[in-house]
């Protein structure tokens, strides 16, 4: 195959296979060739799955040879975060406690992507159980940012972001509990969407915080993000929180422009201490560009969102401590072989299986839910969550889309914040309120600073993903940002 995988879009791949310009099997070969070239430096994957990818490619090629209509993502190399079950793989959550766990069923979002014709090339590295903002908390080592191998790719879906950024996959899926799709999307120069809570089934994903988790895609372009959403959205009888809405083509209106759309810059978040002034300026310049294209721009405050961080770090760990109680060394996962009794088995298996950040969050959550503290901590945090939801509702009465930076800074150095958990947590200060409110948001690359990507976060009312993609497409069309990092251009 002569085409460079990193330069092909999902649409071009499907159309090329349909026209028999190349085959799905050649797409797998191109993906694995890229993996062999850059994966040793990036470490985006916990597991490469050539057998699954070639088997899927053979089915697509057989359809093409027979002249059958191809599914919408036919032949597109795709990676999945390692907290999503996929039969034929281990689902480890980048944790020692699950390192040998073999998936016995498929995550619904994964299954829907496979039905859309994607080629599963591997399972991606992540912060252990999605606890982190840098993908440094993985039991299997950190992932490196393809834009600068000395820097983090963000987290917790850093492997999924890096796989797309480095051209090893064309699409990937991640999960977002407090920014874990959008934040790594911003730091790696990829388009990264967190859909409305309930848009995408959570069945088959290992839960972090069940009232916050949501699955979403990474891509190089806004159009590809919409194609991936088309595949994964929809009611699932296996997830009671998934919402039954009519099918929607998220790509159909994205080229309509922004004329007349009301864009609200979230002033109080934009001015938060710790936000790099150059990031702030890049976001404001992008908004000015939207205004020149016909958008109606104003400013809005979300006063309760300043309390989003402390509320999230009570609600998230509280739900995590409950969800992770099942990993006890009894039914599956790491188990010490020489326990003296059941209590010794529990204590030693969990102490050996969980990493420091997981232990920290389990302990925080257990404390917040304990007798005498539940109302003071968890109950109060849920009240703050309600105030944040109301702030967004008021803002969306006046604006179609709200705007902030996705992250306060560009990608930071590996190890720079590892010893300071609070500093690390602040990486998600702009993204956390979105999860607490359950609304959709997308990060779109809008500029670069010192050769590192900057992302702008677009937030919408519930189930308004199409408008976000419409604005994202406009930003993409006016931006001169090149989504291909130097590592890919030079071939390392």
The rounded distance, in Å, linking the Cα atoms of 136 and 125 is 10
Q: Among candidates 78, 83, 153, which has minimal Cα distance to 116?
A: 78
**Across-strand partners of 452?**
449
Q: Among candidates 439, 453, 445, which has minimal Cα distance to 475?
A: 445
The rounded distance, in Å, linking the Cα atoms of 237 and 216 is 19
Displacement of CA 178 from its chain's centroid (Å): 10
3-state class (DSSP) for residue 46: strand
User: Are 79 and 160 a contacting pair, CB within 8 Å?
Assistant: yes
Of the residues 134, 156, 201, 358, which is catalytic? Answer: 156
The rounded distance, in Å, linking the Cα atoms of 145 and 154 is 8
User: Tell me, what DSSP letter sits at residue 247?
Assistant: -
Burial readout 90-106 (b: 16 or more C-beta within 10 A, e: otherwise) = bbbbbbbbbbebebeeb
401-405 sheet: strands from edge to edge: 45-48, 119-124, 77-81, 171-176, 214-219, 191-194, 441-449, 452-460, 401-405, 262-266, 296-300
Question: Which of 339-345's residues contact partners 24+ apart within 8 Å by CB, and which partners?
Answer: none
The rounded distance, in Å, linking the Cα atoms of 274 and 164 is 28
Q: How many helices (H) and strands (E) does the chain have?
A: 17, 11
User: Are 195 and 159 a contacting pair, CB within 8 Å?
Assistant: no
Of the residues 6, 31, 81, 220, which is catalytic? Answer: 81
The rounded distance, in Å, linking the Cα atoms of 29 and 217 is 23
Of the residues 133, 180, 219, 304, which is catalytic? Answer: 180
The rounded distance, in Å, linking the Cα atoms of 185 and 169 is 14
Q: Is 156 a catalytic residue?
A: yes
- Classify strands 214-219 and 191-194 as parallel, antiparallel or unpaired: antiparallel
Q: Where are the alpha helices (DSSP H) in 293-438?
A: 308-323, 342-353, 356-369, 380-396, 421-425, 432-437
3-state class (DSSP) for residue 130: helix
Place of tokens 């349909």: 18
The rounded distance, in Å, linking the Cα atoms of 2 and 392 is 49
What residues are annotated to the active site? 81, 156, 180
């Amino acid at each position: 195959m002569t085409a460079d995988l990193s330069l092909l879009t999902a649409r071009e791949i499907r159309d090329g296979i349909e026209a028999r310009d190349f085959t799905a099997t050649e797409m797998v070969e191109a993906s694995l060739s890229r993996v062999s070239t850059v994966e040793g430096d990036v470490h985006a994957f916990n597991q490469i799955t050539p057998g699954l990818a070639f088997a899927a490619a053979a089915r697509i090629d057989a359809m093409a040879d027979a002249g059958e209509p191809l599914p919408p993502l036919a032949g597109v190399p795709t990676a999945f975060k390692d907290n999503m079950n996929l039969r034929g793989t281990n689902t480890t959550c980048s944790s020692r406690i699950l390192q040998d766990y073999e998936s016995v069923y498929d995550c619904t979002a994964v299954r829907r992507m496979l039905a859309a014709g994607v080629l599963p090339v591997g399972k991606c590295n992540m912060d252990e159980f999605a606890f982190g903002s840098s993908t440094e908390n993985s039991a299997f080592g950190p992932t490196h940012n393809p834009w600068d191998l000395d820097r983090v790719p963000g987290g917790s879906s850093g492997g999924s972001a890096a796989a797309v950024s480095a051209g090893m996959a064309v699409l990937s899926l991640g999960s977002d509990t407090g920014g874990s799709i959008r934040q790594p999307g911003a730091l790696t120069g990829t388009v990264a969407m967190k859909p409305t809570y309930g848009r995408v089934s959570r069945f088959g994903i290992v839960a972090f915080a069940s009232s916050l988790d949501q699955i979403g895609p990474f891509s190089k372009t806004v159009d590809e993000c919409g194609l991936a959403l088309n595949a994964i959205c929809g009611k699932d009888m296996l997830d009671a929180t998934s919402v039954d809405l009519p099918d929607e083509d998220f790509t159909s209106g994205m080229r309509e422009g922004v004329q007349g759309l009301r864009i609200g810059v979230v002033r109080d978040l934009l001015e938060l201490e710790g936000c790099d002034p150059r990031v702030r300026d890049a976001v404001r310049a992008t908004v000015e560009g939207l205004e020149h294209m016909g958008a109606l721009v104003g400013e809005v405050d979300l006063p309760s969102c300043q309390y989003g961080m402390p509320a999230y770090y009570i609600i998230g760990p509280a739900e995590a401590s409950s969800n992770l109680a099942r990993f006890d060394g009894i039914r599956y996962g790491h188990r010490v072989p020489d326990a003296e009794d059941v209590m010794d088995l529990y204590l030693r298996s969990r102490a050996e299986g969980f990493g420091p950040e997981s232990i920290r969050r389990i302990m925080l959550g257990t404390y917040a839910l304990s007798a005498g503290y539940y109302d003071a901590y968890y109950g109060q945090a849920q009240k703050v969550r309600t105030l944040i939801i109301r702030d967004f509702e008021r803002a969306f009465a006046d604006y179609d889309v709200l705007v902030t930076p996705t992250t306060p800074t560009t990608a930071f150095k590996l190890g720079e914040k590892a010893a300071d958990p609070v500093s690390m947590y602040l990486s998600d200060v702009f993204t956390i309120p979105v999860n607490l409110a359950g609304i959709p948001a997308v990060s779109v690359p809008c500029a670069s600073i010192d050769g590192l990507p900057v992302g702008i976060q677009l937030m919408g009312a519930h189930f308004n993903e199409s408008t976000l993609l419409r604005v994202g497409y406009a930003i993409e069309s006016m931006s001169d940002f090149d989504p291909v990092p130097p590592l890919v251009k030079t071939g390392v």
